Amino acid sequence: MTAVKLHLWINGQRVQPPGGRMGDVFNPASGEVIRQVPLAGKDDIDAAVAAAKAAFPAWRETTPL
């Protein structure tokens, strides 16, 4: 089985991690790599926090389902 490669999701867009850095996720029963997840850097974290902060005022006015 081929490992699924995931991406960062920041401000509604798929973002590649800096330098393409990825980490493996293993199936504990078989030891097989089942996913590759992005390893975010400081700039990615700062961008995600800024996007969340900008979206919060509108989001908090959203009524629950």
| Least confident stretch, 1-10, 29-38, 54-63 | 1-10
Tokens matching residue 18: 């800096």
Specify the pTM.
0.74
Q: Which pLDDT band, with edges at 50, 70 and 90, does 44 fall under? A: very high
pLDDT in tens, 9-37: 999 999 988 888 999 999 999 999 999 99
Burial zone of 12 (CB within 10 Å; 0-12 exposed, 13-18 middle, 19+ buried): exposed
Whether 64 contacts 56, CB under 8 Å: no
